[in-house]
Structure 1
Amino acid sequence: MKKLFLIPVLLISFSCQPKSKTKKEVAVEPIPEKVLLSQEDLQQYETAYFASGCFWCVEAIFESVKGVKEVVSGYSGGPEKNPTYEQVAYGRTRHAEAVKVYYDPEIISFQKLVKVFFGSHDPTSLNRQGPDRGAQYRSIAFYETKEEKKIIDDYITLLVSEGVYDRPIVTEVEKFDVFYGAEDYHQDYERKNPNNSYIKAVSIPRYNRFKENFKDYLKEDAH
């Protein structure tokens, strides 16, 4: 059965863009401890890069997938060096909010990560996901090798041939260049800030829709 992942547009002022109290927001309930892997540990895994809207949402989705060991929120797709959140979120660079996914290819393939990417956002929405507007929220599937590019291109061709969407796919397929990690307070943002208004209204519903459609992909603690 074909499943179309569309993010509803909210007629309210929720946005992933920075606000004056962003850094001070904390969850009311205790935050479960997360096992942190060192850079040495992470070097044994493969990496993949995607952009599909607010990275708070995208990070949480990929973190829930079996075989994914770590996800880092950051910026990619533009020429500017060392961009900041304020610069990217307000469209002052050509970067998009993106994620770096560390994964174990013996558990999950790049092809399946591409399916997660397309199945967790609306790839027909130009420069927008949900309430977040601007090129910094555009859809990009990055590739590092010719094989990865073919996997992405072939999957797009499949989606089009099966008529999964009633509008053209506008996802950019882009050769990966550089990734800049976002500021520390953005990492694991959804997990640490479940009571944030944007997280409650946009990010968590998006995550739940993904879980409903990708039950077989989820880690045990993500069900």
Structure 2
Amino acid sequence: MKIIKSVFTFSVVLLLISCLGFSKKEEVSKVPYKPSKETKVAYFASGCFWCVEAIFESVTGVEEAVSGYAGGFTKNPTYQSIGTGKTGHAEAVAVYYNPEKASFETLVTVFFGSHDPTTVNGQNPDYGTQYRSIAFYENDKEKAIIDNAISKLNKEVYNGKIATEVTKLTKFYEAEEYHQDFEKRNPNQSYVKAVSVPRLNKFKKKFPSLLKKEVH
């Protein structure tokens, strides 16, 4: 996204603009989210975090999704630094959820069902290590759930081609404030209209039973 969020076709390149072109002066403060004692957090990366955040926030039981960076080795990454592809980090999302309404298994289903896990280092139209597919885990139970999902999907759907990394979370860095709820706050932004909204609508059509009532 540092240069322009597409290398797919020349026409799409002209249509889409870099989210770095989104002025920080346009930032809008949001009410701080305060998770309850029962709230759990799961972490996923599958392309542009604007898209991923919007998808998870449409799911029943998800209280909040926060865009950020994870999976790398550089401390305190920024959007500009991860755009170089040299920090090791990927654009990721922290998903705050109520385990009584959404299980970790459900979130894994959402993750694999909302992107192409066979693509190495990217999701169309964004490519680079910062857009790679990663399912993070914090304990053995979560890792087993992810591994089982991959095994089943490789056998039944993807013919052993899943490229998703399964990585233990070490640190999640929250992204700059202007990235949070980007799709909701910028409905007319060109990338949002051309990529984020269609990706969300595709997910909603595929998993209507998982959606919050207000997003049907």
TM-score for the superposition, normalised by structure 2: 0.89
| Aligned equivalent of 1:87 | 81
C-alpha contact 1:75 1:179 (8 A) present in aligned 2: yes
| Aligned equivalent of 1:6 | none
Deviation of residue 143 (structure 1)?
A: 0.4
% identical equivalent positions? 57
Q: Report the secondary structure of 1:19's partner residue.
A: helix
| Aligned equivalent of 1:23 | 24
Structure ranking higher on relative contact order (CA contacts 8 Å, 6+ apart): 1
| Aligned equivalent of 2:192 | 199
Q: What do you get for the CA RMSD once the two structures are aligned?
A: 2.3
Partner Cα separation in structure 2 for residue 214 and residue 25 of structure 1:
33
Any residues of structure 2 matched to 1:42-81 within 5 Å, and which? 42-81=36-75
Q: Relative to structure 1, is the Cα distance of residues 74 and 139 closer, same or farther in structure 2, using a 3 angstrom cutoff?
A: same
2:112 is aligned with 1:118: yes
Any residues of structure 2 matched to 1:132-143 within 5 Å, and which? 132-143=126-137
Partner Cα separation in structure 1 for residue 83 and residue 189 of structure 2:
18
2:166 is aligned with 1:173: yes
| Aligned equivalent of 2:4 | none
Q: Report the secondary structure of 1:60's partner residue.
A: helix
C-alpha contact 1:16 1:132 (8 A) present in aligned 2: no
Partner Cα separation in structure 1 for residue 189 and residue 19 of structure 2:
12
| Aligned equivalent of 1:160 | 154
Q: Report the secondary structure of 1:72's partner residue.
A: strand
Runs of 4+ off more than 4 Å: 14-17
Q: Report the secondary structure of 2:200's partner residue.
A: helix
Deviation of residue 133 (structure 1)?
A: 0.8
Partner Cα separation in structure 2 for residue 15 and residue 88 of structure 1:
20
Deviation of residue 44 (structure 1)?
A: 3.3
Aligned residues: 208
TM-score for the superposition, normalised by structure 1: 0.86
Map Cα deviations across residues 125-181 of structure 1 (whole Å, 9 max, x no partner): 00010111100000000000100000000011111121x125600000001110000
C-alpha contact 1:18 1:89 (8 A) present in aligned 2: no
Q: Report the secondary structure of 1:73's partner residue.
A: strand
The one-letter code of the counterpart of 1:181 is E
User: Unmatched 5+ residue regions in structure 2?
Assistant: 1-6
User: Unmatched 5+ residue regions in structure 1?
Assistant: 1-8
C-alpha contact 1:17 1:90 (8 A) present in aligned 2: no
